[in-house]
């Protein structure tokens, strides 16, 4: 069975129970789904910048996500070497990619057998081959 690293957008949609993601991930098997610690950082930022009336609810959603993926949170340090190589390569051809997106993709590549990042936004991972879409 394939394993998947979910990007931040997918995790946000999962938290909101949108697009049938909870059911889709249940079909794939929760044991085959992972998130990056950068996704947690991005979502913490989202909580911090949200309206004060929504911060408690947004933090609660993040806490539920963290509990659901406990033991399935990948460390970005595993992708640092590949990140440096890919960032230099992409820059040399004039292609700029968001650092967090690049790190998430490189983390997936380095966390074999995890399939490269799973996203609804293929453009942001266009540099990456093998991208899975949901």
In tens, the pLDDT along 65-115 reads 999 999 999 999 988 999 999 999 999 999 888 898 888 888 887 766 555
Mean pLDDT, the chain, rounded, equals 84
Token pair for 70: 């406990």
Residue 129: the pLDDT is: 46
CB 129 within 8 A of CB 116: yes
3-state helix, strand, coil in the chain (%, to 5): 60, 15, 30
Residue 120: the pLDDT is: 57
Q: For 15-66, write each residue's pLDDT tens digit.
A: 999 999 899 989 989 899 999 999 999 999 999 999 999 999 999 999 999 9
Share of the chain above pLDDT 70, in %: 81
Q: How far apart are CA 98 and CA 69, in angstroms?
A: 24
* Secondary structure element (H or E) that encloses residue 84, with its range: helix 80-92
* Secondary structure element (H or E) that encloses residue 27, with its range: helix 21-28
On the question of pLDDT at 123 being above 90, the answer is no
CB-CB neighbours of 72 under 10 Å: 16
CB 108 within 8 A of CB 101: no
CB-CB neighbours of 67 under 10 Å: 8
On the question of pLDDT at 132 being above 50, the answer is no
When pLDDT is cut at 50, 70 and 90, the band that residue 117 belongs to is low
Token pair for 30: 């929760």
* DSSP-assigned letters across all residues of 86-116: HHHHHHHTT----HHHHHHHHHHHHSTTEEE
Give the start-to-end residue ranges of the domains of the chain.
3-74+114-124
């Amino acid at each position: 069975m394939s394993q998947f690293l979910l990007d931040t957008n997918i995790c946000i949609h999962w938290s909101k129970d949108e697009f049938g993601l909870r059911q889709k991930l249940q079909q794939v098997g929760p044991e085959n789904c992972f998130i990056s610690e950068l996704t947690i950082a991005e979502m913490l930022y989202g909580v911090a910048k949200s309206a004060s009336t929504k911060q408690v609810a947004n933090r609660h959603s993040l806490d539920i996500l963290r509990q659901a993926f406990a033991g399935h949170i990948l460390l970005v340090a595993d992708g640092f070497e590949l990140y440096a190589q890919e960032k230099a390569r992409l820059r040399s051809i004039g292609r700029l990619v968001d650092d967090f997106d690049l790190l998430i993709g490189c983390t997936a590549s380095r966390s074999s057998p995890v399939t490269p990042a799973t996203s609804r936004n293929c453009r942001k991972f266009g540099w990456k081959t093998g991208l899975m879409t949901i």
